Structure 1
Amino acid sequence: MSDRASAVTSVPPLVGRARQMEALARHAAAARSGRPRLVLVDGPAGVGKTALLRAAVAADGPFAGMTVLYGGCRAVDAATGYSAVRALCGRLGLTSRKGRTSPLLDGGARRALPALVTDPADPDNPGAAPDNTFSVLQGLYWLAVNLMAEAPLVLVLDDAHWCDERSLRWLDFLLRRADGLPLLVVAAHRTEAGLAAPDALADLAAHHLPDPLRLGPLDASEVAELTAGLFPGRRPEPAFVGRLVSVTGGSPLEAVRLLRDLRSAGLGPDEEGARRIAEAGGKVVAASVHGVLAGQPGWVREVLLALAVLGDEDTAYLAALAGLSALHVEEGVEILGQAGLVQAGRREPVHDLVRAAVLDRLGATGVARLRLRAARLLSDIGRSPEETAAQLLAVPGPGDAWTTSVLRAAATQAEQRGAPEAAARYLERVREADPDDPDVLTRLGKALAETDPKRSVGLLHEAHTLTTDVRARTATAVQLALTCLSVQQSPDGARVLTEALDDLDAELGTAPEPADRELRTLAESALLIVGADEKSTLPDVLRRTAGITPPPGDTPAQRQQLAMLGVLAAVDGHPAAESVRRARRALRAPGVPLGPWSLLPASLALSLADENRAADAALETVLRGSRDTAAVWTYVLALSTRSLYRLENGAVADALADAQTSLEILGQERWGDSAVTPHTAYAAALAERGEVARAEESLTAIKRPRLDRFAWEYHWYLMAHGRVRAVGGDPEGALEAFRACGDSLDAAGLRNPVFAPWWLEAACLLGGLGRTAEAREAAAYGAPLAELWGTPRALGYAALARGAATPGPAGVALLRRAVALLESSPARAHHARALLLLGRATLAGGSVREARDHLREAVGLARRGGCVALAREARQDLVDAGGRMREITASPLDMLTGTERTVAGLVASGAGNREVAESLFVTVRTVELHLTSVYRKLGVGRRADLTEALRAGGPPPPVPPRMSA
């Protein structure tokens, strides 16, 4: 805990602050009971915010019995990522070799280390070099949870107006996940001060509606009480109190400074003291500081200057900066402490007004020289680049070569720490010195990709333009294009990559070196990824693939290219065998980790080709890797993609579990509104269960602008939209969606018959309406493509569409073929639909008994897959045909929500609540609530009975991969 003291420790520090202390006590009581709170203490400089916090964290204060982490922010650290977090957590001692074995770092909390250590790239640091900022935020969250397992937690942050942006974002992250946790966050900030991270502080306040504790000036009675505390036994005269209030404006800090100066001069709270106060005029603290220093040797001022710049530092380093002996520094600190200018127990000025008063006398040029000397000193003694850069950022101007080298190194540390805002600040200063350095522009663009994507792309474009070397230009083009993809500007990225590849080919000739071949393969694979994102660029990418010879797959870039060639061959309508060969070769990498851009496209190609086991294995690898690195966006994408695969295979309950889990994770993130696939998958799964209203709500929640540009998400969306309309009794609305899907697929050049089988849905719907000519037209579109693709699913779809469009015995024959083909495919839902249509067709032909058999089988198959709407439809047809069957009612397992099913599966596999929470990026409280609901719905009372209950209720729920750490 910080030992920052009030200006005059002998004076009661909380005069007039009883109401605020009572409020803090109430909030502490609420936090102890699991009702988290955020409290913002604000007021002007010198009004007593620090004194209030110090009294609150005292042993007999309102936070007694709670774990208290106290930290103060400094102006010099405002640009350093997670500096406030390190100020709060410093006393935990987690960064030493011994500290890293602390149980506080168990589980996901180990990911917090990059925010806590001095050097996040330290090879001895197991949490070094995070893949994304979310990883560190998640680690810090679990560190806080571990602390709260021991006692209620209070985070007390002083001078929050200087808090760095990343620390504020973490507090927001923590509070959004704090439901049911014993947590209190108290932050004090100066009302009139400029904020280091105004947007982050505003977001924190807006999201959590803090209780404001505003500290105003002291009134006359309170000033009189303060005076009496400093002059015990003497009653201050009313004229003296009035003069003191008038000069200080009721500021406790200024009042204490004046009272202390009076006492030092042998004066008291009387008429003569009032005259002396009147002479003080406006800048009380500055006048008091310079008054104290005027009566001391000149070297005392040098000590205070060193303290004002370096803070609580080793005596030898303070002496080096001040140009004094260590003995002079020690004596100077003692003199300044006795004068009330330096904190008791810490060698820091008692207030930033004191710091400003002594530095202002140097002038801007003098302060700049002093900070440059301090930066050199910190560098020479081996301090981290970020610590050195903090001094350099306070010096205006671009700086020399040494300065820019330190700032570059500091940016690297910030990147490794998962603090892009800090990296951007360092790089902005480097850019002042070298505005045309492509490397700086590229790094700055990457750092701004999340917070300012428009500027990010502009900077990367500028870097690309300034790069003259063809190879370096190609590498920059890859970075630019992938950034364009992340900010939904992929056509621009595809254009840049195409031009870069043309230039590279002209440079390399016909026999490039191995390194050049790998660079070219990397660029071409990136072009396939970026160009396949939108419909406008996909046809060009498909044409380009015709001239690419599939590589052997010996390098990461080759495997990435093979994966994209596999999926693009699939959507271009090639026979399935070629697509499968490429996808499997892309995944053939023993001992070599595969990235998401190899695994996700390969899984899609394999899923389209009925290679479900291999597709699931690829997705499991993505899920496991993204969970271990806390790459939440990749995790959500993989989970929602798997939901679509499972839905197409008729595993509705499993699909619903994946989709709802991904949506629950998204609901906690600021960027969740831009997601499409989780909402689409959830809506489609709900439609299969007959829950039309909820499905429509999920589709309405999609906020992606200009969704119709995109090659993958838009068609999945249209298919879900059509199914929702069909199940909801709106066949014309459904047909409109399906036909729009077909037109859009044609425009994009997507010809795979099972990717978005609108033609099948349209043929079945039109056949049921008796519009056979239109049904035959839809079937005639898709059936030849399906026969070319050649999988049992595709051939079954073709037979089903033709059978639905063909009345009479010819149609029955086609439907029999569809049932046989689909029975040998993974498409259980369409197998059940084929049985339903065959039952109707045979009934129309007079074969009642056979019809009942088909309809009864359709009911059972649909129900086992969770296709409740289809099962009810088939059951009604069976009853109408004279058959008997009970109403389709939900089993206990059907009553579970998707997330409850996922949680139940993990718990049944042996995972504890904490492990489940870390696996799904949710809180332990959320897991507990889901598990309680599972127990109630399944009628069990303990974990040991859960496995049997799940087995009795139907097929076991999907079990996400467990965390590896």
Structure 2
Amino acid sequence: MHLVERDQELTTLTDMIQRTARGEGQVALITGGIGCGKTALLAAVGDRAREHGFEVRCAIASLAERQTPGAVLGQLTRAGGPVPADLTDPPGTAAHQDRTGHATSGTLARLGPESLDSGVSRTLQRLCAAVERRARRTPLLLCLDDVQFMDELSLHWLLLLIRGLSDAPLALVLTERGLSRPADPRLRAELRRRPEHRPLALPRLTVEGVAAVLAPYVGTDLAPALAAECHAVSGGNPLLARALAEDSRHGATDTHRTAPRLVVGDAFADAVTGSLHRGWPALLRIARALAVLREDTPADPTVARVADVEDTVRARGLRALEDAGLLADGRLRHPATAAAALVGCTGQERAVLHRRAAERLYEEGAPAVRVAHHLVAAGAGPAPWAVPQLREAAERHLAASRPASARPCLEAALRHCRDDGERLRLKALLAGATWVLDPTMGARHLVELADALRDGRLPDQYALMLAKYLLWHGRYVEAADAVERIGRRDAAVTDPLAAAEARATRELLSVTYPGLVPGGRPAPGQVAAAGDPRTRGAAALSDVLRHGPGRQVVGTAEAAMRAMRLGRTTHEWLTCAVSALLFADRTASAASWCDHWLAEARARRVPLWIAEFSSLRAGIALRQGRPHEARELAEDALARIPVESWGVCIGGPLANLIQANTDLGDHEAAAEYVEVPLPAGLFDSRFGLYYLHARGHHYLATEQPRAALDDFVNCGVLMRRWRMDQPSLVPWRSGAAHAHLALGGTTRARALAVEQLRLSGDALTRTRGISLRVLAAVGRPSQRGALLKSAVPILERSGDRVQYAGALAELGLTHLRAGRADTATELVRRAVELAEECRAPALAARLAELLPAHDTPSPAEATERHHSLDLLSPAEQRVASLTAQGFSNREISARLGVTVSTVEQHLTKVFRKLGVRARGDLRQAGALAG
């Protein structure tokens, strides 16, 4: 084996061999940590000695044979060892000689410390003399590996041999491994007094040395790049570095990575495990204690307590692990090192280790989170202080938005808690912790907790939580008492934060379950006076649903979000504020805020938060005319939280999936979601409105106008009953008008369209654009063109590309009927392009059927359009390209970081240079090439 960074030591040992050959007896002790290359160096010395004509004899001491007298001597005498045939047996032993006359190991095995009388000592002295005589015939090298494990009889003989080193060509090379105890102090003392002794301490490898170890396995190009990481994991231990090299042989690079990758795999784990199991048992116990304390910063007494060793043993063991490169700053270097230390450790043994760790950390006053980690891992039999520690740890995890960590703490506390009142409070905490992981997990305790609340066994402070959770699952009867207690708590509580939460919760429930929880009707703009941001978020949503969009509502919702951070007590109010922006027709702002909170939820890895914000973002994407994106987001929401766990709130993601697939023309997929069983109570919640509206559009698209009309009308009935009849929430009259038109009810269709336009207000919002479009569809033909001309720029500004595409196509048809084929072609072509950009091929194909056959430009026209782009400056080309892709001036302004006025100025110049009159002409002029 090629030795790395051992040249100096090998030179020293070679010099020793040469001196021995000249008749100078020599002895060397090689020390170093486990796996630092002592045995490999010993083998290299043996090879050098053979090159110089030496006879080399080797023996390895082992812990298993430490109590076997003469175990090492027996290895040296086997197979033609150094003991001569004429050696007489020690007195009092039953000598057995083989056919060659050599003493057998059986003879030596019968010698023990109790037999070291004068006769045995004389025999061992004669053995030493015999070795010396053999060395004078042929230079002799004795290599003894792991002398710290040498049996007593062999050690006695070795000491005699070292004391008698003279001018005979005899060399001894010993190795001692750094363990939890050193070799026998008599050996060290004897070596120190010998002038011919050469102590050699093997250091761990440098980063450059590790690179040399890696090179034969991963190549000279990759080795330097991996060396630093490999050194950090292995600590420069040659054995561990070589194991990492083997693991990384085939995994250093792959087709998906451009950077090299160090693999910490089975070879490394085996090397660590083998190193620890070759040492003293106490060393393994110390390593296992460090493994279970890995998440802590253990003090030395804590390690000793968990390992169940004395402080002196602990100190030597830590030093041995440090020497082997397994420790860094008192901790095991790598998770794989900790895992390897625990290999072979039974579940019961691990539980004992964790129980000791919990006890010691509790005595030290460590934080409850650290103590609870070990209590959970210990499993059974905690001390009386364990339940309070587990509860405190769970509360801290929940406060830090770590529900997955809080859950096992609460479950462990429940297993050992014997107080009925405390068990109820623990179950309430567990229901809250598991709720955000999967609402179904916490549901099993809800009825019991509701009964306890009603009977007074559970404090009213839990009414907020129970009301929300019971209503979510449609358990309206059980929720009634909890809802009533929220109002009483709001009036009685003196804590302003708790009172604010109660008001915010009641407001939220009143607009989410308006058929069950009565709510107030504050005057428009009243929400600005609310102080707590949670209350402001809920009140903003309530205001926009009951009074329609307003600028003050928008400001209040955004201010509320700026004052909050995503957490256990805020995520519901953040969804309220985002929804308020959405229903105020501030789609771009709602999308920006929702993207922010969705990224935060994903970073926290809380499934319910991710699912709720994904579903909300899907609804926003639908209003942006991005059905493909909406479908992906809604599918992700259902992947995070299964359908059965959504309760009545399933109406949200289902509505998004039905509408998205309908817009994409995938009616089979939409039909599958229509067939999903609905929970009882869905249509007592606001989510039922979304579902009815989406299903109605699916029925319209699949030529079922009667079923569609029923859904739209039922949606309207609920909205009027709940005093939330705002077109910006659900424009049900648009769908109902189209259904009436399909059934021949033109008069009723026109009346609904007119009413929706009146309710949508004068602001140039998406809702108004939709209302104008539907009025054009059901109104008089003479008014159709003017209505669509008004709708098109509004829908373009709103960002809803699906609605914008539909309005363009319908306006194109009005021009076609009026004989203006060129204008019609231009408008319909742009509508097709928008549908393609929306990744809605069915819609694009349907609109493309309206294009005249002569629509495709000739090659000469295409070349002329391309050359005309050379007239544009780089800034003008960027603006033209984004405009041709369908972005509004405001969106282009945001993308390019310029003002809207600058965008308009660039567009004016673009139109003049390219000779076009409308935004839709830019794609025909080849502006996308810029």
SS of the residue corresponding to residue 706 of structure 1 reads: coil
Q: 748, 773, 777: which one pairs with 1:832?
A: 773
Q: 1:443 aligned to 2:414?
A: no
8 Å Cα contact 1:727-1:869 kept in structure 2: no
Q: Deviations over 1:916-941 (max 9, x none)?
A: xxxxxxxxxxxxxxxxxxxxxx999x
What residue in structure 2 maps to residue 281 of structure 1? none
What residue in structure 2 maps to residue 562 of structure 1? 539
What residue in structure 1 maps to residue 691 of structure 2? 717
Q: Deviations over 1:312-352 (max 9, x none)?
A: 9765544456676544445568999999x999999989764
2-side partners of 1:759 and 1:729: how far apart? 18
8 Å Cα contact 1:414-1:422 kept in structure 2: yes
- The offset of 1:583, in angstroms, is 7.5
SS of the residue corresponding to residue 540 of structure 1 reads: coil
Q: In structure 2, give the amino acid aligned to 1:706.
A: L
Q: 1:433 aligned to 2:405?
A: no
Q: 459, 470, 473: which one pairs with 2:459?
A: 473
8 Å Cα contact 1:420-1:448 kept in structure 2: yes
What residue in structure 1 maps to residue 883 of structure 2? 951
What residue in structure 2 maps to residue 530 of structure 1? 509
2-side partners of 1:621 and 1:308: how far apart? 43
Q: 1:697 aligned to 2:629?
A: no
Alignment CA distance shift 1:618-1:878 (3 Å): closer
Q: Deviations over 1:423-480 (max 9, x none)?
A: 2222222221345314433322222224553442344555566579989833212123
Matches within 5 A, 1:226-265: none
2-side partners of 1:302 and 1:152: how far apart? 32
2-side partners of 1:468 and 1:858: how far apart? 55
Q: In structure 2, give the amino acid aligned to 1:872.
A: A
8 Å Cα contact 1:580-1:605 kept in structure 2: no
1-side partners of 2:406 and 2:385: how far apart? 18
Q: Deviations over 1:508-535 (max 9, x none)?
A: 6xxx5752x653453243134235435x
SS of the residue corresponding to residue 59 of structure 1 reads: helix
Q: 1:377 aligned to 2:309?
A: no
Moved more, 637-646 or 736-745: 637-646
SS of the residue corresponding to residue 448 of structure 1 reads: helix
Alignment CA distance shift 1:661-1:493 (3 Å): farther
SS of the residue corresponding to residue 666 of structure 2 reads: helix
Q: In structure 2, give the amino acid aligned to 1:719.
A: H
1-side partners of 2:698 and 2:881: how far apart? 31
Alignment CA distance shift 1:546-1:721 (3 Å): same
Q: Deviations over 1:803-856 (max 9, x none)?
A: xxxxxxxxxxxxxxxxxx697985223323434555x533xxxxxxx8767777
2-side partners of 1:449 and 1:57: how far apart? 53
2-side partners of 1:540 and 1:637: how far apart? 22
Q: 201, 206, 214: which one pairs with 1:59?
A: 214
Instruction: List runs of 5+ in structure 2 lacking aligned partners.
Output: 1-31, 41-209, 236-247, 841-868, 896-930
Q: In structure 1, give the amino acid aligned to 2:214.
A: A
Q: 735, 752, 776: which one pairs with 2:709?
A: 735
2-side partners of 1:402 and 1:69: how far apart? 48
Q: 1:659 aligned to 2:630?
A: yes
Q: 1:624 aligned to 2:596?
A: yes
SS of the residue corresponding to residue 772 of structure 2 reads: helix
Q: 1:841 aligned to 2:827?
A: no
Q: 722, 746, 758: which one pairs with 2:732?
A: 758
2-side partners of 1:350 and 1:685: how far apart? 50
Q: In structure 2, give the amino acid aligned to 1:497.
A: A
8 Å Cα contact 1:474-1:504 kept in structure 2: yes
Q: In structure 1, give the amino acid aligned to 2:771.
A: H
8 Å Cα contact 2:546-2:726 kept in structure 1: no
Alignment CA distance shift 1:179-1:417 (3 Å): farther
Q: In structure 2, give the amino acid aligned to 1:376.
A: E
2-side partners of 1:394 and 1:542: how far apart? 47
8 Å Cα contact 1:490-1:530 kept in structure 2: no
Q: In structure 2, give the amino acid aligned to 1:697.
A: A
SS of the residue corresponding to residue 624 of structure 1 reads: helix
What residue in structure 1 maps to residue 161 of structure 2? none
What residue in structure 2 maps to residue 407 of structure 1? 390
Q: Deviations over 1:571-601 (max 9, x none)?
A: xxxxx59x88777667666974485655654
Moved more, 762-771 or 545-554: 545-554
Q: 497, 501, 511: which one pairs with 2:486?
A: 501
Q: Give the percent of matched residue pairs that are identical in Structure 1 and Structure 2.
A: 18
1-side partners of 2:365 and 2:250: how far apart? 34
Instruction: List runs of 5+ in structure 1 lacking aligned partners.
Output: 12-54, 72-87, 94-150, 157-174, 190-212, 216-250, 261-284, 294-298, 571-575, 787-791, 797-820, 843-849, 901-937
- The offset of 1:186, in angstroms, is 8.0
What residue in structure 2 maps to residue 872 of structure 1? 809
- The offset of 1:498, in angstroms, is 1.9
RMSD: 6.5
2-side partners of 1:547 and 1:704: how far apart? 39
Q: In structure 1, give the amino acid aligned to 2:772.
A: H
Q: In structure 1, give the amino acid aligned to 2:883.
A: R
2-side partners of 1:563 and 1:186: how far apart? 53
What residue in structure 2 maps to residue 491 of structure 1? 476
8 Å Cα contact 2:667-2:702 kept in structure 1: no
1-side partners of 2:303 and 2:309: how far apart? 8
Alignment CA distance shift 1:184-1:742 (3 Å): farther
8 Å Cα contact 1:659-1:678 kept in structure 2: no
1-side partners of 2:718 and 2:810: how far apart? 31
Matches within 5 A, 1:320-359: 326-330=311-315, 352=342, 355-356=345-346
2-side partners of 1:439 and 1:7: how far apart? 56
What residue in structure 1 maps to residue 182 of structure 2? none
SS of the residue corresponding to residue 829 of structure 2 reads: coil
1-side partners of 2:599 and 2:231: how far apart? 25
Alignment CA distance shift 1:599-1:89 (3 Å): farther
1-side partners of 2:537 and 2:298: how far apart? 51
8 Å Cα contact 1:399-1:433 kept in structure 2: no
Q: Deviations over 1:130-156 (max 9, x none)?
A: xxxxxxxxxxxxxxxxxxxxx999799
- The offset of 1:7, in angstroms, is 14
Alignment CA distance shift 1:56-1:700 (3 Å): farther
1-side partners of 2:286 and 2:677: how far apart? 59
2-side partners of 1:492 and 1:56: how far apart? 70
Alignment CA distance shift 1:731-1:558 (3 Å): closer
8 Å Cα contact 1:342-1:349 kept in structure 2: no
1-side partners of 2:806 and 2:364: how far apart? 72
8 Å Cα contact 1:586-1:598 kept in structure 2: no
Structure index of larger Rg: 2
- The offset of 1:542, in angstroms, is 3.5
8 Å Cα contact 2:879-2:892 kept in structure 1: no
Matches within 5 A, 1:100-499: 317-319=302-304, 326-330=311-315, 352=342, 355-356=345-346, 368=352, 372-380=355-363, 385-393=368-376, 395=378, 397-412=380-395, 414-415=397-398, 419-431=402-414, 432-435=416-419, 436-437=421-422, 438-451=424-437, 453-459=439-445, 462=448, 473-484=459-470, 488-489=473-474, 491=476, 494-499=479-484
SS of the residue corresponding to residue 685 of structure 2 reads: coil
8 Å Cα contact 2:612-2:637 kept in structure 1: no
Q: Deviations over 1:208-253 (max 9, x none)?
A: xxxxx9x9xxxxxxxxxxxxxxxxxxxxxxxxxxxxxxxxxxx999
Q: In structure 1, give the amino acid aligned to 2:530.
A: G
2-side partners of 1:627 and 1:453: how far apart? 21
Q: Deviations over 1:485-527 (max 9, x none)?
A: 6x6446367424324236547xx6xxx5752x65345324313
